[in-house]
Amino acid sequence: MPSPLDQAQDVLSYPFAIGPLGTPPETIAWARKHRPVCPISLPSGTRAWMVTNKDDIGLVLTDKRFSRDLTYSGAPRFVGEDFTAVPGGLFNLDPPDHTRVRRVIGHFYTRTGVERFRPLVERHATQLLDAMAGGDNPADLMQAYSTQLPLHSSCDMLQVPVDFREQYLAYFHTQTNYQATAEEVAQATAKILDFSRDIIALKRKHPGHADPIGALIEARTQGLIDEDELVGTVCYLFVTGSEPLIPPLSTGVLTLLEHRPQLQQCIDDPTLWPKAIEEVLRYHHNGVLGLPRVATEDVALKDTLIRRGEAVCATMLGVTWDPKYYKHPAKFDIHRSTDGTATFGAGPHFCLGSALVRMFLEVAYRMLFARFPSLTLAVPASEIPWEKNILFIRPVSLPIAW
């Protein structure tokens, strides 16, 4: 018998057009108001339920009846066999396995733990800003800073030569490209797994690394995790290590430039940067639609029955722009009493790197605008081109001048 999802009418096609200057698609607000549990079609043709308000999303993220284990044949995918198909990765484990593996590396990502990485982020920021100051003016911030600082910092944190990782960047991009074919995505996944295995083999030859990958290798040696969990979680660290940081370091910078009085307050009083970061994180999630979860049994949500085996996607922009919890959500205001925590999710899969993101952005914003306090857009904001078919919300280029 066809399920309600198969029979649903007026199914929305994803991806949605983003709003002005990287703001959420208008589709999300429409769905929250008119159809809070809404049927959508992913680029692969797979159907899923999209959940769009904070209360319902909180339930999906915390209720064990919704699983992130998508490693089985026929599981829902955005395009093809991407990183959600990799067995053993933190993305794809449910408790108690997820808890056990996360515990191995969790101490690197606590608020205290990430401070060991602050000097290296500052060092890379200094080098990039020096190069920017000595280069062309105007410049493209994407090429000069927004893509480079996450990449170099992530490689340093994981103690991986940046030149080695640059060889694989095209495969990481394919993973998140909605215009790629299923075959291209599957091939990219295989290449990233090969890359992860190569890094593990290299580090096994030279043990004793005090970094997350070294900790995972040691846990494997002690029998605390298995080989799939080692390889899958190393893959997870590479997939999440730099690309998700590019949107707040590009779209976020654009939003700050478009709200110059608030930006100037931060330049004049750097103690305000943490508040600005919280509002950037609330105002912009790095993507539109969260990774699918699958119902392990029938679940009633609002007036919709989600059948066992059906996919559910939560949009974190549905949370952080929910007017029930955020007054005038379309207003960018660094002085809000709320913070950006909700953008990192909830439940067992609450973002491992939330403290790292905050530390990274504090360094990145503070040093950028300390070095270039007069930084401005080199073109009208309306002329900035946007990526249209990738997982992340970010500009193609961000022309700036100083």
**Mean of pLDDT values over 86-109:** 95
pLDDT, averaged across the chain: 93
The pair phi, psi for residue 305, each rounded to 5°, is: -95, 115
* Banded model confidence at residue 168, pLDDT cuts 50, 70, 90: confident
The pair phi, psi for residue 184, each rounded to 5°, is: -65, -40
Instruction: Give the C-alpha separation, 351 to 353, whole Å.
Output: 5
Judge contact between 193 and 86, C-beta under 8 A: yes
Distances (CA, A) of 319 to 20, 71, 236, 337: 19, 27, 24, 16
pLDDT at 129 over 80: yes
Q: Supply the pLDDT for residue 3.
A: 55
**Mean of pLDDT values over 339-367:** 96
- What global pTM score does this model have? 0.94
* Banded model confidence at residue 390, pLDDT cuts 50, 70, 90: confident
- Helix (H, G, I), strand (E, B), or coil: what is residue 171? helix
Q: pLDDT digit string (tens) for 307-340?
A: 999 999 999 999 999 999 999 999 999 999 989 9
Q: Supply the pLDDT for residue 6.
A: 65
Q: pLDDT digit string (tens) for 27-39?
A: 999 999 999 999 9
pLDDT at 109 over 80: yes
Q: Supply the pLDDT for residue 2.
A: 44
Burial class (CB in 10 A: 0-12, 13-18, 19+), 306: buried
Distances (CA, A) of 27 to 194, 318, 319, 340, 341: 38, 10, 14, 22, 23
**Mean of pLDDT values over 344-370:** 96
Judge contact between 74 and 68, C-beta under 8 A: no
Q: Could you tell me the two tokens for 355?
A: 């403290």
Q: Supply the pLDDT for residue 173.
A: 85
In terms of DSSP H, where are the helices of 242-353?
251-257, 260-268, 273-283, 316-320
Burial class (CB in 10 A: 0-12, 13-18, 19+), 159: middle
pLDDT at 163 over 90: no
* Banded model confidence at residue 148, pLDDT cuts 50, 70, 90: very high
* Banded model confidence at residue 165, pLDDT cuts 50, 70, 90: confident
Q: For residues 345 and 6, which has the higher predicted lDDT (pLDDT)?
A: 345
> What pairing do the DSSP bridges indicate for beta strands 37-41 and 12-13?
parallel
- % of the chain at pLDDT higher than 90: 86
Q: For residues 210 and 296, which has the higher predicted lDDT (pLDDT)?
A: 296
**Mean of pLDDT values over 50-55:** 95
**Mean of pLDDT values over 88-113:** 96
- % of the chain at pLDDT higher than 70: 98
Q: pLDDT digit string (tens) for 170-223?
A: 888 888 889 999 999 999 999 999 999 999 999 999 887 789 999 999 999 999
